[in-house]
Amino acid sequence: MRLRRRAARDAVALRLIALAPPMALLFLQAPGAVWPRALAVVTAALACAFVFAEIRGRGPILEVLVPALLVMLFAPPEAASWQLALALSLAIVLGALVFGGAGFGFLSIAALALVLLAFSFPPLAPVMPSQSVIWFALPGGLLLMLAGLAPWRVVLAGAVGVVLATGPSELDPALAAPFAILLIHFAADPFGAPVTGPGQWLSGLMVGGLIVLLGAPETRGLDMSAGVFAVLLAGLFAPLVDAGVIAIADWRDGLRHG
């Protein structure tokens, strides 16, 4: 358990570093609108973590800052600060803290928060940030992949799933960067993606295919609502996929050494 918490702390540090450039640009582009939202979501996230830390008798857990930043990046501009804080608080409590915090849950908390926001307030669907913010997020995404915090199998399989579901001739090259950001920061969540190699391939393919299948036909570009729903659905099946992969491996070992 201690090793898992230590790994979670190390992962949080790198994920915050990866998100620093796009967040800095977001603050520079619209400081008047971003500061109130930042204060609301960060306060709500840390408050939830502090309450659970006090109940369980251990220090505050800072991994809640990662979904807080992702919610700020992908929430619609018209969402009120209190709406973001409410959706994020529910997601953190129901998707992470009740299971013991980072390293113990099985869902992307940021995706869950955006889904709860869309369900609770139907007009408030998640959106992709501006193209410049996306490009500022790509180096951090590459850092996470190189560090092993964003499983490359999930990202590659997600891209393959999108291609197979869409058709190579209908793909828009301009969507490569937005798809990459979605796959790296949501589908390849280090605490939400499967841990087995085959499970990561299956999960990525599921996410990529569902993004296309769930997307609105009239939507041009990437439908972020479909993206977070796809990530959440794949995350719900991740433990089952891992269990199936391990069971098959054990069965094969039993036959081999039979």
Let me know: does 232 contact 112? Beta carbons within 8 Å: yes
Q: What letter does residue 184 receive in the DSSP assignment? A: I
The domain tally of the chain equals 1
Quote the pLDDT of residue 145: 93
The answer to whether residues 61 and 12 touch, using CB atoms and an 8 Å cutoff, is: no
What's the pLDDT at 208?
A: 92
Distance, CA of 161 to CA of 122 (rounded, Å): 28
Asked whether 204 and 158 are in contact (CB, 8 A), the reply is yes
CB 97 within 8 A of CB 48: yes
pLDDT of 173 reads 79
What pLDDT score was predicted for residue 83?
A: 96
Backbone torsions φ then ψ of 102, nearest 5 degrees: -60, 140
Cα distances (angstroms) measured from residue 21 to each of 18, 118, 149, 238: 7, 26, 18, 30
Q: CB–CB of 73/133 below 8 Å?
A: yes
pLDDT at 15: 92
Nearest Cα to 224, choosing from 115, 91, 119, 79?
A: 115
Quick one: pLDDT at residue 1? 47
What is the C-alpha separation between 102 and 129, in angstroms, rounded? 26
Rg, the chain, Cα only:
18
Q: What is the pLDDT along the chain (258 residues), one digit of tens a residue?
A: 444 555 566 788 899 999 999 999 999 998 888 999 999 999 999 998 888 877 776 655 788 899 999 999 999 999 999 999 999 999 998 887 777 666 666 788 999 999 999 999 988 999 988 999 999 999 999 999 999 889 999 999 999 999 888 877 777 778 888 899 999 999 998 878 888 889 999 999 999 999 988 886 555 567 888 999 999 999 888 888 888 888 888 888 777 765
State the pLDDT at residue 101: 63
Q: Which domain holds residue 70?
A: 2-256
| Per-residue pLDDT, 157 | 95
Closest C-alpha among 114, 145, 79, 86 to residue 230: 114
Eight-class DSSP state of 149:
S
